[in-house]
């Protein structure tokens, strides 16, 4: 624990991963862990392992700001179930990580904490909204950290920071921190050094709970997730999902990874999806309504981009909001047909490598001359099909030296299979 805390302090000024470093509480927990071993008491399989949690996630006794001044200095009296389960397995919470205000952005910057920077290049963003958690892992402070993903907030920073990030299938990890337990785009997920570390996170946190009515009555089978064989597996490859303008250097990295998979015995076939930028536009409408419904009362010292999101959400009419389900239905039918033939879909996690830290989400809504979206992430489409797990696995650097993440999207509720595919890819890039 001393080394984890030492590393957190040593990297904080350069990268700004932490909203709070729990020095005293973490050291006290570490002493208790040592005493348990000396006394021969039973210990969990994560005994003494340090981890970090996002500043959106309540932890008892810790100031939880949600990256905002509007939240004041709220100190929860209860800890979220996801974190409690990690602690019950023996892991020790050493810090709370930075997030954009209310987790609204693909760039981790907030009025309260400023910018969180990429461990590969501090002039670049870490991604968001679980950017602090990604940096805590990427700088070697912790082996895994908790994140949340409503449009890519685990997979985007994982891709930009060169680590593993998983959006599990909806309900695999009970989502207990939102005002509503009926939200269907929100997921807890791990940011981790390796797929095995992500598996350990799932072993501790997955499983049903009455705290979340949407939680799955399924057992997570870790051994199935450790299958790294690619031979005979069938993968569909889409570089652009039908409508994204993907940087050539990102496309080249994805094609190299697909080629390595084929060389290992997998069948990789390129497919065309009939999707348009309406996928992103309609996800954004859901996002705006989400933010206006749950955080619309906050305005004090708020990021102007957050205010605009809520204004748009307040203006959305109920009928057009409901009709978004028609698009989601069409998307799922496309995915269901694809899964009749293939084990998973491959695509980039992000269309670009990590942008400069001063960029904004609004810089990524234009189209190129061919009508393709000049977007940032390629993750939010799969929050519209939330039962399908999706993982970002690092596949080495692009031409600019920055990481690229391969996104693997699996059949609904097949988290173990997606993790196994990720392990198969990861071994090509492990030192």
Catalytic residues: 54, 129, 153
Contact between residue 71 and residue 341 where contact means Cβ atoms under 8 Å apart? no
Q: How is residue 7 written in tokens?
A: 């590393």
Please tell me the distance from the alpha carbon of residue 394 to that of residue 390, in angstroms, as a whole number: 13
Q: From the centroid of its chain, how far is CA 23?
A: 26
Please tell me the distance from the alpha carbon of residue 184 to that of residue 286, in angstroms, as a whole number: 10
Contact between residue 17 and residue 108 where contact means Cβ atoms under 8 Å apart? no
Q: How is residue 229 written in tokens?
A: 């064989």
What does the longest C-alpha to C-alpha distance in the chain come to? 69
Q: How is residue 174 written in tokens?
A: 């009970």
Looking at residue 373, the DSSP 8-state letter turns out to be B
Please tell me the distance from the alpha carbon of residue 68 to that of residue 195, in angstroms, as a whole number: 32
**What sign for the dihedral angle of Cα 336, 350, 114, 147?**
positive
**Helix, strand, coil percent content, the chain, rounded in steps of 5:** 35, 20, 45
Contact between residue 148 and residue 158 where contact means Cβ atoms under 8 Å apart? no
CA–CA distances in Å: residue 185 to residues 137, 175, 205, 237 = 25, 10, 18, 24
CA–CA distances in Å: residue 388 to residues 83, 111, 148, 404, 414 = 23, 34, 16, 21, 7
Please tell me the distance from the alpha carbon of residue 105 to that of residue 391, in angstroms, as a whole number: 19
Q: Which runs of E-coded beta strand occur in 69-153? A: 92-97, 109-110, 114-115, 117-118, 121-125, 144-149
φ and ψ of 246, to 5 deg: -100, 130
Contact between residue 130 and residue 149 where contact means Cβ atoms under 8 Å apart? yes
Question: Coil, strand or helix: which one is 269?
Answer: strand
Q: Determine how many CB atoms are found less than 10 A away from the CB of residue 401.
A: 10
**What sign for the dihedral angle of Cα 328, 127, 19, 154?**
positive
């Amino acid at each position: 624990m001393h080394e984890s805390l030492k590393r957190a302090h040593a990297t904080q000024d350069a990268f700004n991963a932490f909203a709070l470093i729990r020095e005293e509480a973490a050291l006290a927990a570490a002493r208790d862990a040592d005493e348990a071993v000396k006394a021969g008491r039973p210990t969990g399989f994560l005994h003494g392992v340090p981890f970090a949690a996002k500043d959106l996630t309540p932890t008892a006794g810790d100031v939880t700001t949600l990256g905002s001044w509007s939240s004041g200095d709220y100190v929860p009296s209860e800890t979220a179930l996801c974190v409690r389960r990690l602690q019950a397995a023996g892991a020790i919470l050493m810090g709370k990580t930075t997030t954009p205000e209310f987790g609204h952005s693909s760039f981790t910057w907030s009025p309260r904490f400023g910018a969180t920077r990429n461990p590969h290049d501090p002039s670049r963003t870490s991604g968001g909204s679980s950017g602090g958690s990604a940096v805590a892992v990427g700088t070697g402070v912790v082996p895994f950290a908790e994140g949340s993903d409503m449009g890519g907030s685990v997979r985007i920073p994982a891709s930009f920071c060169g680590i593993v990030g998983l959006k599990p299938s909806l309900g695999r990890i009970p989502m207990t921190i939102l005002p509503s337990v009926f939200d269907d785009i929100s997921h807890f997920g791990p940011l981790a050094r390796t797929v095995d570390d992500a598996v350990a996170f799932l072993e501790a946190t997955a499983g049903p709970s009455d705290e979340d009515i949407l939680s799955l009555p399924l057992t997570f089978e870790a051994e199935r997730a450790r299958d790294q064989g690619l031979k005979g597996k069938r993968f569909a490859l889409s570089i652009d999902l039908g409508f994204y303008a993907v940087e050539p250097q990102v496309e080249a990295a994805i094609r190299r990874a697909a080629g390595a998979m084929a060389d290992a015995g997998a069948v990789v076939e390129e497919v065309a999806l009939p999707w348009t930028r309406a996928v992103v536009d309609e996800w954004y409408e859901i996002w705006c309504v989400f933010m206006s419904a749950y955080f619309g009362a906050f305005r004090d010292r708020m990021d102007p981009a957050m205010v605009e999101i809520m204004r748009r959400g307040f203006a959305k009419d109920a009928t057009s909001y409901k009709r978004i389900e028609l698009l989601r239905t069409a998307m799922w039918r496309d995915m269901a047909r694809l899964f009749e033939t293939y084990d998973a879909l491959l695509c980039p996690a992000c269309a670009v490598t990590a942008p400069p830290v001063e960029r904004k989400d609004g810089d990524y809504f234009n189209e190129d001359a061919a009508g393709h979206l000049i977007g940032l992430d390629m993750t939010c489409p799969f929050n519209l099909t939330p039962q399908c797990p999706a993982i970002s696995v690092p596949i080495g650097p692009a031409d600019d030296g920055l990481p690229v993440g391969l996104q693997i999207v699996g059949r609904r509720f097949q988290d173990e299979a997606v993790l196994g595919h990720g392990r198969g890819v990861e071994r090509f890039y492990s030192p």
